[in-house]
Amino acid sequence: MKRLACILLTLCLIWCSMALAEGDDPVIVRVGDFSFTKNQLQSAIDTDIEFTELLSQETLTDEERQTQRDDTIERFVGVGLIQCKLQEAGQNDFTPDEEENLKAAARNLYEQLWQGIWQRAQDSGEDFTEEQVTEYLEESGYSAEAIYEEYKATERRYRAIDLYCPAITLTEDMIREYYEEQFLNPDRERYENDIDLYEREILAQQNESFYTPAGYRAIQQILLEYPDEVNKGLAQEKVQFSQAAQAVASALQPLADAASTAQGWDDISEACANYAKAAKALETVQKAVIEKREALTLPLIQARVDEIRTAFDTGIDFTSLIKKYSADTNAQNMEKGGYPVHPDSRNWPAEFLDAATALEKPGDISEPVLTDMGVHILYYASDIPEGEHELTGEEQETLNASALYYYQNQELEALMADWREEYEIETHPELLDD
């Protein structure tokens, strides 16, 4: 699972995100012989806020941003405490080989991040340059040098764990508690009653969730393209539809303008009436297109539909029929069991959704369904179990490693609370930007 595979890296970035200091700038945190400057703290704070907002998809309030600042300052105090302890143990420094290995790992991660952002930029269709991608990473605190500093801080944390809290034996109950608290319960709370959010964040982004809401079924389809005769026969109606759609768009702007200055209904009634008239005309044209498309299409594809139905009734596997007949050869449709479809979904054409949810039981097949995409023959492949994601063996191993690091960090944090008494600590949050 992609999200589980990123857990350890995410934890490291959350604990240790920092950028290199540039030039002389004021010290914000000093712990014993170690100090951290405004440049380092400000970069980490900005990165932490951006990361938190990215995960939550919400803008932090001023109070939440202040809490994030305070947490970041405390984290740097922790980094300083670890360095003090490691210095006493003679393990704070790195050998040349260790430094080179960490630099190589940092360069590798930087390249992965760069390529990932570049690919997403290309997929978006927007005009991004390589320089803009590099600038975005630099501004986000993820230069190769900054990642190298993060890796060093993370390695020091591992050293402290090995020195001071290595004797943790994980039990199944501990792992289960960690899994529920950190992953399962948050996904359940987020998606259980919000299908639209689940489909935007999980299905549309091809992510995986630790919790699946109830009501999903897997639908496979054979998608037949419209014969050329249909497209030619609808040429005039398509022109009319395009004109009607443009009329709706043209009527929308005056309505928006009137609404922005209206003092009452009289100020927007004419604009509303014009928009309603245009929308009604579009609806009429759309209905005519659908009716004519059906009249033209069904006679032309009936033989193919009968051929598919006969093959299915004789016991031929539906996936085999997809391979033979379908224009949709997407892996989700063929190898992965079908598309997740929910009655409250907004991701499918209404005709598709109505037909998919009308199928009564797994193994049922639909009559031809016509949408703008083509002619669909739908197959109810299976119900998708609700509830928590069942981890694979590899995912369980990743979870176990993440849980161990989590509990080791808890123990280390408890030790660090005691270490605070051993060193002089200064913080100057008033020097940070608002």
pLDDT in tens, 205-216: 888 899 999 999
Task: Please state, in angstroms and rounded to a whole number, the distance separating the CA atoms of residues 430 and 434.
Answer: 9
User: What pLDDT is recorded for position 213?
Assistant: 96
User: What pLDDT is recorded for position 10?
Assistant: 43
User: What pLDDT is recorded for position 87?
Assistant: 96
User: What pLDDT is recorded for position 19?
Assistant: 40
Task: Please state, in angstroms and rounded to a whole number, the distance separating the CA atoms of residues 125 and 112.
Answer: 20
User: What pLDDT is recorded for position 263?
Assistant: 81
pLDDT reading at 332 higher than 50: yes
Task: Please state, in angstroms and rounded to a whole number, the distance separating the CA atoms of residues 62 and 49.
Answer: 11
3-state secondary structure the chain: CHHHHCHHHHHHHHHHCCCCCCCCCCEEEEECCEEEEHHHHHHHHHHHHHHHHHHHCCCCCHHHHHHHHHHHHHHHHHHHHHHHHHHHCCCCCCCHHHHHHHHHHHHHHHHHHHHHHHHHHHHHCCCCCHHHHHHHHHHCCCCHHHHHHHHHHHHHHHHHHHHHCCCCCCCHHHHHHHHHHHHHHHHHHHHCCCHHHHHHHHHCCCCCCCEECCCCEEEEEEEECCCHHHHHHCHHHHHHHHHHHHHHHHHHHHHHHHHHHCCCHHHCHHHHHHHHHHHHHHHHHHHHHHHHHHHHHHHHHHHHHHHHHHHHHCCCCHHHHHHHHCCCCCHHHHCCCCEEECCCCCCCCHHHHHHHHHCCCCCCECCCEEECCEEEEEEEEEECCCEECCCCHHHHHHHHHHHHHHHHHHHHHHHHHHHHHHCCEEECHHHCCC
The larger pLDDT score, comparing residue 268 to residue 223, is at: 223
Strand order from edge to edge, sheet including 374-383:
339-341, 217-224, 374-383, 369-371
Going by pLDDT thresholds of 50, 70 and 90, the confidence category of residue 160 is: very high
**Residue linked to tokens 């997403």:** 120
User: What pLDDT is recorded for position 254?
Assistant: 87
pLDDT in tens, 250-296: 988 888 888 888 788 887 888 899 999 999 999 999 999 999 999 99
- Beta-bridged to residue 250, according to DSSP, are none
Mean pLDDT, range 225-235, rounded to an integer: 93
pLDDT reading at 37 higher than 50: yes
| Whether the model pTM is above 0.75 | no
Q: Are 290 and 370 in contact (CB under 8 A)?
A: yes
Q: Are 31 and 77 in contact (CB under 8 A)?
A: yes
Mean pLDDT, range 226-231, rounded to an integer: 93
The larger pLDDT score, comparing residue 125 to residue 72, is at: 72
pLDDT in tens, 111-128: 998 888 888 777 777 777
- Beta-bridged to residue 387, according to DSSP, are 212
pLDDT reading at 16 higher than 50: no
Q: Are 428 and 26 in contact (CB under 8 A)?
A: yes
Burial (Cβ within 10 Å: 0-12, 13-18, ≥19) of residue 172: exposed
Task: Please state, in angstroms and rounded to a whole number, the distance separating the CA atoms of residues 298 and 291.
Answer: 11
Mean pLDDT, range 236-245, rounded to an integer: 91
Task: Please state, in angstroms and rounded to a whole number, the distance separating the CA atoms of residues 271 and 238.
Answer: 26
Going by pLDDT thresholds of 50, 70 and 90, the confidence category of residue 99 is: very high
Q: Which of 4-13, 87-96, 375-384 has the least mean pLDDT?
A: 4-13
User: What pLDDT is recorded for position 433?
Assistant: 80
pLDDT reading at 202 higher than 70: yes
User: Mean pLDDT, the chain, as a whole number?
Assistant: 89
User: What pLDDT is recorded for position 107?
Assistant: 93
Q: Are 225 and 372 in contact (CB under 8 A)?
A: no
pLDDT reading at 18 higher than 80: no
pLDDT reading at 80 higher than 70: yes
pLDDT reading at 1 higher than 60: no
Q: Which of 133-147, 314-328, 383-397 has the least mean pLDDT?
A: 133-147
Task: Please state, in angstroms and rounded to a whole number, the distance separating the CA atoms of residues 44 and 8.
Answer: 18
Q: Are 34 and 86 in contact (CB under 8 A)?
A: no
Q: What are phi and psi of 212, to 5 degrees?
A: -110, 125
Task: Please state, in angstroms and rounded to a whole number, the distance separating the CA atoms of residues 366 and 378.
Answer: 5
User: What pLDDT is recorded for position 220?
Assistant: 97
Task: Please state, in angstroms and rounded to a whole number, the distance separating the CA atoms of residues 253 and 205.
Answer: 32
Residue type, 174: M
User: What pLDDT is recorded for position 51?
Assistant: 76
pLDDT reading at 14 higher than 60: no
Task: Please state, in angstroms and rounded to a whole number, the distance separating the CA atoms of residues 299 and 297.
Answer: 6
Nearest to 310 by CA among 365, 250, 273: 365
